[in-house]
Amino acid sequence: MSKNYFGTDGVRGTVGKDPMTADFAMRLASAAAQVLVPQGGTVVIGKDTRLSGYMFESALEAGFVAAGADVLLLGPLPTPGIARLTQEFDADLGVVISASHNAFFDNGIKFFDRSGSKLTDDIELKIEEHLKNPAITLESQQLGKAKRIHTARIRYQDFCAASMPDGIDLEGMKVVFDGANGAGYKVGPRALANLGAEVISIGCSPNGKNINSGCGSMEPGLLQLTVQAVKSDVGVALDGDGDRVVMVDEAGKLIDGDQLLYVLAMDRKNNGALTGPVVGTVMSNLGLEHALRAMDIDFRRAAVGDRYVLEALRSSGGIIGGETSGHMLVLDKTTTGDGLISALQVLAIMRRTGKPLSELVAGMPKYPQTMVNVRTERRMNPDESTAIQDAVAVAEDELADKGRVVLRASGTEPVIRVMVEGEDADQVVSLAKRLASIVAEAAA
């Protein structure tokens, strides 16, 4: 069965348009409660800094309480922090109100089970079945209660600090931190400062509308300029909900998720702590695959989406995985993608080895890669178009064994992502533009 509401990372859309309305949020809470908290239990709810978060927080609270669940309101907190506190509070369900890297006019709702892991497809389908019915309201004596937790940020901050290796701190390191005006705007700078770093903060003044705007992992230009201007050792940028991270080296050069994955895997390998394969995605740079295999590290590709990377790691016994975008999974430290914890692991490697980030990533070549996002009027599967598949076959013949073509439909918006990678940068750009044009025609 296909899902009508859940995408690759929860339910997401433009606020005020179906499904991102207050009424739907209340019904979604009711449906989730009936599937995952049927006998009454505890649900934690956190959010990022979007203006609409207040509305959805109240609607979800009403839906859960009416269905008999107790609710703990965590306030603004990174998505991985909510996953962690779901476990810490022994809750039955964790709920995140966030559209991650999207602009403020979008929002989303995603869930964690009691182990701090994202829901399976089967569970999401069961929730959607209950969405066909109106929200329930139990009798007064069966209703749940709600309570606001004021220690949530400090609890998560302490958890992040505890992920650092014993005996390693950041004393004397100058770090520029970009919080994307999102959920990590407080916990990021404070966690780094508590570990001894000198912190220069940007993107840490949210107003409800400036999340991911001109800052953060999606737009790191300001971070790159700031690192150079203040002569920082490194820069760290999260996205709006804190589950992605990109970094900037001492020269202001952007270091993406593939390169960070290489640094983490290389360090674990050198210290005998790497188990299982390293998992990337179909979008991971070919240079990462070649660099890891040169070190006798098994590399595997999963579908795009950190949930699929996580599934591949769990099935293979791996502990390190991630996406080019900066979704990093470090399973020997936490259960889900966590931008801040991933950044701390890289900073710890810099401190322990005494090497700048530029030197740590130098062993991984990056093949030229171009991605074009083709917006469509409707969601479509590029694999079902003969014209598109014929064009892909021609492009792959031209690249021979020196490149790749990947087409995929976004799981959160009506966009087809066209990615071409190869040794020749001009050829890569030309092929990407040609394929994007054909995709646009087929989608018209």
Q: Residues with catalytic annotation?
A: 100
Q: Which residue type is seen at 93?
A: L
- Kindly state the helix (H) or strand (E) to which residue 431 belongs, with its residue range: helix 425-443
- Kindly state the helix (H) or strand (E) to which residue 108 belongs, with its residue range: strand 106-113
Q: Which residue type is seen at 113?
A: D
Helix/strand/coil percent split, the chain, to 5: 40, 20, 40
Tokens 């001109």 sit at which residue? 214
Bridge partners, residue 112, by sequence: 94, 118
d(CA 144, CA 68): 4
Tokens 């839906």 sit at which residue? 63
* Residue 166 DSSP symbol: T
130: exposed, middle or buried (C-beta count within 10 Å: 0-12, 13-18, 19+)? middle
> Under a CB-based contact definition with an 8 Å cutoff, are residues 357 and 255 in contact?
yes
Nearest to 257 by CA among 276, 232, 238, 234: 238
Provide the 3-class DSSP secondary structure of residue 432. Answer: helix
Residues in the chain: 444
* Residue 165 DSSP symbol: P
Residue 251 structure tokens: 């020269």
* Residue 118 DSSP symbol: B
Tokens 């020749």 sit at which residue? 424
Residue 277 structure tokens: 């394969």
* H helices present in 240-365, as ranges: 257-270, 286-294, 306-316, 339-353, 357-360
Q: Is the dihedral of CA 168, 171, 177, 182 positive or negative?
A: positive
Counting DSSP H helices and E strands in the chain, the numbers are: 14, 18
Provide the 3-class DSSP secondary structure of residue 137. Answer: coil
Q: What is the DSSP string of 212-224?
A: TSS-TTTSTHHHH
d(CA 67, CA 363): 54
How much is the CA Rg of the chain, to the nearest whole Å?
Answer: 22
